[in-house]
């Protein structure tokens, strides 16, 4: 299958992206991400769905997805402030907004986990070629299944009844409140490992990002970092909850939770 959009063409048979006939170099994960977006044009594809498809065997976070999206935008010459191809839906996912023309044979169906269902036809043929079970054996098997299901249901019901009448359920108190960003549009938020602080970042007129922090048992929101000229910031807490790290451009920074200057950790191209 070949996908054409604007002056680009992606051929999934050769796994190659080209522009006006010239090959565009791109990492395999970014190419796989582009393929999934092309197969789902004009649809909001959530972050977890993309992670399950592009990294089905690896335990990676949203940082890897953000980096792959950045590589795609660079290869497509797409501006995050005025996108022509990839639209960011804050905190949710991404949408491919350009018209896509597909030609050639369709690929095998893709499950939600991103695994081609190639074996379905083979399994169906093997099942059809097997001799049918005698009616008496089928009836006996169904009867056994019914008895097993009934016994399992009775045991489960009895256990639930015993627990319900033996223990008095604890009363929970539900508290609801709303935290509004001091300024700009909310982009993302992260809860600290101990559940006591909320960090979130906002975009302001698509020119900068700001990282804020707020204690959940207080009312004050503090500004931690003001990042000029870069609006797609991915942040995360340290394991001890004492600092917040974030990617800005091609660099990784960290900043103390209590405040202070941001410290460059490493280059992250």
% the chain with pLDDT above 70: 75
Domain region containing 252: 185-267
Asked if residue 136 is part of any domain, the answer here is: no
Q: If you average pLDDT over residues 10-14, what whole number do you get?
A: 92
Q: Using the 3D structure, point to which of 71, 103, 135 is the last residue of a domain.
A: 103
CA distance 202 to 226: 10
Q: What number is the average pLDDT over the span 6-13?
A: 93
pLDDT band, very low/low/confident/very high, at 177 (cuts 50, 70, 90):
low
Quick: pLDDT tens for 66-123.
Answer: 999 999 999 999 999 999 999 999 999 999 999 999 987 655 544 444 444 333 443 3
Closest CA to 90 of 225, 233, 257: 233
φ, ψ for residue 176, nearest 5 deg: -120, 135
Residue 184 predicted with pLDDT over 90: no
Contact 244, 254 (CB under 8 A): yes
DSSP string, 129-158: HSPPPPHHHHHHHHHHHHHHHHHHHHHHHH
Last residue of one domain, picked from the residues 103, 127, 156: 103
Nearest to 83 by CA among 48, 21, 37: 37
With beta carbons less than 8 A apart as the criterion, state whether 198 and 191 touch: yes
Please identify, among 67, 88, 103, the residue that sits at the C-terminal boundary of a domain.
Answer: 103
Tell me whether residue 207 is in a domain.
Answer: yes
> Is the torsion defined by CA of 29, 252, 82, 47 positive or negative?
positive
Q: Domain for residue 219, yes or no?
A: yes
Q: Is the pLDDT at 255 greater than 50, yes or no?
A: yes
Say what the pLDDT of residue 125 is: 43
pLDDT band with cut points at 50, 70 and 90 for residue 154: confident
Per the model's pLDDT, the better-predicted residue between 117 and 54 turns out to be 54
Asked whether the whole model's pTM tops 0.85, one would answer no
pLDDT of residue 166: 63
């Amino acid at each position: 299958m070949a996908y054409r959009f604007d002056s680009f063409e992606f051929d999934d048979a050769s796994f190659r992206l080209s522009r006006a006939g010239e090959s565009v170099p791109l990492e395999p994960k970014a190419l796989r991400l582009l393929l999934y977006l092309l197969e789902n044009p004009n649809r909001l594809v959530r972050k977890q769905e993309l992670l399950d498809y592009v990294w089905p065997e690896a335990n990676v976070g949203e940082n890897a997805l953000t980096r792959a999206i950045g590589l795609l935008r660079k290869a497509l010459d797409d501006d995050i402030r005025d996108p022509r191809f990839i639209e960011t839906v804050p905190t949710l996912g991404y949408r491919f907004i350009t018209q896509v023309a597909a030609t050639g044979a369709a690929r095998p169906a893709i499950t939600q986990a991103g695994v081609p269902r190639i074996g379905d036809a083979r399994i169906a043929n093997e099942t059809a070629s097997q001799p049918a079970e005698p009616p008496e054996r089928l009836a006996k098997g169904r009867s056994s299944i019914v008895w097993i299901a009934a016994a399992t249901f009775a045991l489960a019901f009895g256990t639930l009844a015993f627990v319900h009448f033996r223990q008095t359920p604890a009363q929970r108190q539900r508290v609801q409140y709303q935290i509004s960003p001091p300024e700009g549009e909310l982009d993302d938020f992260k809860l600290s490992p101990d559940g006591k602080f909320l960090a979130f970042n906002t975009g302001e007129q698509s020119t900068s990002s700001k990282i804020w922090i707020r204690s959940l048992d207080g009312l004050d929101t503090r500004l931690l970092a003001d990042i000029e000229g870069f609006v797609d910031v991915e942040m995360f807490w340290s394991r001890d909850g004492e600092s917040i790290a974030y990617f800005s451009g091609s660099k990784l920074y960290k900043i103390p939770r209590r405040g202070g200057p941001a410290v460059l950790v490493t280059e992250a191209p």
